[in-house]
Amino acid sequence: MKQVRAYIGIGSNMDDPERQARTGTADLRTLPHTTLVRCSSLYRSAPVGPVAQPDFVNAVCSVDTGLSSERLLAGLLEIERKHGRDRGSGRKGGPRTLDLDLLLYGDERRDDAVLALPHPRLHERAFVLYPLSEIAPGLVVPGRGAVEELLRACADQRVSRVQGPTVPPS
């Protein structure tokens, strides 16, 4: 089975966000045909969007997976549901127990009703770029450029490192 390197963004700002990020990350190990490769430190960031809410705790993990991008996304959504996330309720951009975003899936580029790859706002969000640069220095985001270059354009966004790796390596 062909393996693809994928990057997953993790975020939480409800119900003990650090615990949610850690347990959500650990749950990535339950995905079939998928190996958790590396996880960043936890980072704290101000929320982005129209809704007043607490700061987020974020991280990024890399996985090697034999799942298609659609099946990987379905697995991520199931983990979110396990953590009490209901994407059908509330306003977009509001508080959430766990948010798992498929940021990159190899060099796949697509934008359809199911999935947008690379994640459409990845290149403009420091809370994704800092942890991504930690675990994959030199990574190039298809159609956007090197992570370090993208990060320089987000230098005005407040992001602070909270702790070491989200989950210990297996």
Residue from 22, 27, 44, 101 carrying the catalytic annotation: 101
d(CA 83, CA 146): 33
Residue from 22, 27, 44, 85 carrying the catalytic annotation: 85
- Told to judge if 71 belongs to the known catalytic residues of this protein, a careful annotator would answer no
- Told to judge if 111 belongs to the known catalytic residues of this protein, a careful annotator would answer no
Residue from 96, 109, 121, 125 carrying the catalytic annotation: 96
Give ∠ CA 139-76-41 in degrees, rounded to 5.
50
Residue from 22, 27, 44, 99 carrying the catalytic annotation: 99
- Told to judge if 96 belongs to the known catalytic residues of this protein, a careful annotator would answer yes
- Told to judge if 87 belongs to the known catalytic residues of this protein, a careful annotator would answer no
Give the list of residues 6+ apart from residue 85 with CB closer than 8 angstroms, or none.
Answer: 96, 97, 98, 99
DSSP 8-state assignment for residue 168? -
Q: Which active-site residues does the annotation give?
A: 85, 96, 99, 101
